[in-house]
Structure 1
């Protein structure tokens, strides 16, 4: 009987030690994953808020610049892709398309002084700027949470717990490669020559 109890005690003791080591780390992963999910949700909320402003901004600009149809189509398509994004990578890509289209829309609006003077337009533009700031903060908070989560998936003993329980690294919310390129600016010198 004693021969059976000693190995059984060693095995039980081994599992107790493993539980003492792994249980807190598992719980930490659950908490970190929830933090990442909450931060991702904040990005989605802020993107939705900006998305809700876009139709008003577009219709205001459309009243002044109805012949700029291509930009309005681009904005609608980009918003559609953003609302259909299934993961962080798709969301980041669609967000870059929306930002690009909005910047082109705002650039077009500079050609219409009456539009620039419109209280409705300036109010929407200011709200849009505020939304962009909130999105930037939400992306930064998300990336900070992902950094902490990923660090834990790669360090010991977290890497063992992550491997055992399927906690995979999370993707960062990254800017599009094209946003790193410096835009070329060409000044119209034809007027200077006249």
Structure 2
């Protein structure tokens, strides 16, 4: 009788151990999958930000070329050229994504002032093949930046949802993962740049 009870107790113990082992493996497997999913999403955000930086850098590189192409013919716009040079330095020294976006917005604003000045005051210069090509490339850069900004924000949305949604938020919290900021246009982006031809 004792032997039957021991066998029955052993079976119950083994069953309990089996259930616990199954739960530990299932929870551990889920945890690893959730962490991997978060890491993949985080890598996707980083990759998309890299794509944004490539386009921001392309525009930043084209701006001095445009300045060089028009500077000799625009004698009264030294203030515009100085503002562009300052904005370019600010962009080059920006380190964080937030600082890069702010500096890029400022560089874009100053470049638009230059483009408007060329169109409004130097129509013969605006029709020059070199200047037209550079302005077209800068406009193309704006389109690429808009697309990569959308792609980046889509990636951030997907990642942030995982970081804040239960139960993956537990994994994110344990791994020190936080939500990422969106790439937003500057509050002044909707305002037309002012052309000041004073020195």
Both proteins in one fold, TM over 0.5:
yes
Greater gyration radius: 2
Matched length: 184
What secondary structure sits across from 1:179 in the alignment? coil
1:124 equivalent to 2:134? Answer yes
Give the 5 Å matches for 1:1-194: 12-110=21-119, 111-180=121-190, 182=191
Q: Is the 8 A contact 2:113 2:193 kept in 1?
A: no
Distance 2:53 2:61 in 1: 12
What secondary structure sits across from 1:129 in the alignment? helix
1:5 deviates by 7.7
Distance 2:192 2:114 in 1: 17
Distance 1:55 1:48 in 2: 12
TM-score scaled by structure 1? 0.85
1:40-92, Cα deviation, whole Å (9 max, x unpaired): 00011111111121111001121111321111111111112222222221111
| 5+ long unaligned stretches in structure 1 | 186-194
1:109 deviates by 0.6
| Superposition CA RMSD, Å | 2.3
TM-score scaled by structure 2? 0.83
Higher alpha-carbon deviation: 63-72 or 28-37: 63-72
What secondary structure sits across from 1:82 in the alignment? helix
Distance 1:41 1:146 in 2: 13
1:112-147, Cα deviation, whole Å (9 max, x unpaired): 122112111001111111111111111110000000
1:7 deviates by 8.0
| 5+ long unaligned stretches in structure 2 | 1-9, 195-199
Distance 1:38 1:168 in 2: 17
What secondary structure sits across from 1:177 in the alignment? coil
What secondary structure sits across from 2:115 in the alignment? helix
Which 4+ stretches in 1 moved above 4 angstroms?
Answer: 4-14, 182-185
